[in-house]
Chains A and B, each alone.
Chain A
Amino acid sequence: DIVMTQSPDSLAVSLGERATINCKSSQSVLSSSNYKNHLAWYQLKPGQPPKLLISWASTRESGVPDRFIGSGSGTDFTLTIGSLQAEDVAVYSCQQYYSTPFTFGPGTRVDIK
């Protein structure tokens, strides 16, 4: 199974400042067939289902603000929230869909400082 790790476990950022979350996979999730990284980022808020923010490591879903930026390739990935807004307080989780069993990272909690 591919193991997903995230760092930090939590972080507190001032409104308008940048938040950076790291995600690492135990093996590459870059496909040799489509040359894409099979890596997604989800936003988790209490009482709500997970929301897909980014797929293919860097493709924002429709309606996701452009302050959410995904980057990275192979085994190392980053989610950057460019200018933190109050509504961005949540847990963020990465997931690999390169192969089954699909696996999620443990999550990173983002709060306002």
Chain B
Amino acid sequence: QVTLRESGPALVKPTQTLTLTCTFSGFSLGSTNMCVGWVRQPPGKALEWLALIDRDDDEYYTTYLKSRLSISKDTSKNRVVLTMTNMYPVDTATYYCARLPGSGYNWNAFDYWGQGILVTVSS
């Protein structure tokens, strides 16, 4: 059974750095052609893909947030960590981690998602 769960702070202050952890089970990032990515959804707005990491530690980022994002993984602990620097109120959103089977040669859809974590940016 594949599961993913996001953890991290529910509230961050403007200019702070957000660190979110995705802990997953039911698959491995080490031995299969799998990736884990992050997607966010501001209240009442559309989904927005943020970042992705694959088995080989290749990192992919959305264009306009690339300078603020960093994604990493700990294969032995089945965890993926996303950091976003210099948080603004407009970054208030539900942040999801999701599994993506495949690789840069053949992407696939996000098939399993965590429940999401609402992160509010406010002083």
Contacts and interface: CB of A to CB of B under 8 A. Distances in A.
Interface stretch (A17-25, A38-46, A72-80, A81-89): A38-46
B63 interface: yes
Interface string A16-36: 000000000000000101100
Contact of B61 (A40, A48, A101): A101
Contacts, number: 68
Kindly state the interface size class of chain B when it binds its partner: 20 to 34
A62 B104 CA distance: 24
Contact of A105 (B41, B46, B62): B46
Nearest to A61: B111
B107 interface: yes
A1 B107 contact: no
Interface of B: 37, 39, 41, 46-49, 52, 60-63, 96, 98, 100, 104-111, 113-116
